[in-house]
Amino acid sequence: MTAVEVLTVRRVDKGTLRAVARVRLAGCIEIAGVRVLQQVGGDPWVAFPQVPARRRADGGGSGWSRIVEVVEPTVAVELREAVLAAWQAAPR
């Protein structure tokens, strides 16, 4: 099991954005900008940091690109569960 430590959780509650977190993986990698999102009436989920994608010369290709992706499924699940638990425990 990988050590996941949630360093900070800042509640936002604006639109679908509920919170922004900073996490540390295995004691040596920090990821800022991990987001907790939730649509009205839906379950919350965790999204990793993203930046606007560049448009192609023909004007297509807009959207978002991930900055960080956790490719090991068990680590990704552990990280998501830790962030959601920290968000739910954070004072309102």
Grade residue 79 by pLDDT with cuts at 50, 70 and 90. Answer: very high
Nearest to 51 by CA among 37, 69, 38, 39: 69
The pLDDT assigned to 66 comes to 85
Enter the pTM of the model. 0.86
The first and second tokens of residue 78, run together, are 């552990």
pLDDT of residue 23: 97
> Using CA atoms, how far apart are residues 90 and 75, in angstroms rounded to an integer?
22
Considering only CA atoms, which of 92, 91, 81 is closest in space to residue 36? Answer: 81
| Span 49-75, average pLDDT | 82
In one-letter notation, the amino acid at residue 83 is: V
Residue 92 confidence (pLDDT): 83
Determine the Cα–Cα distance for residues 63 and 91; give it in Å rounded to an integer. 33
Model confidence over 36-55: pLDDT tens digits?
999 999 999 999 999 888 77
Domains and CATH numbers, the chain: 4-89 (3.30.1120.40)
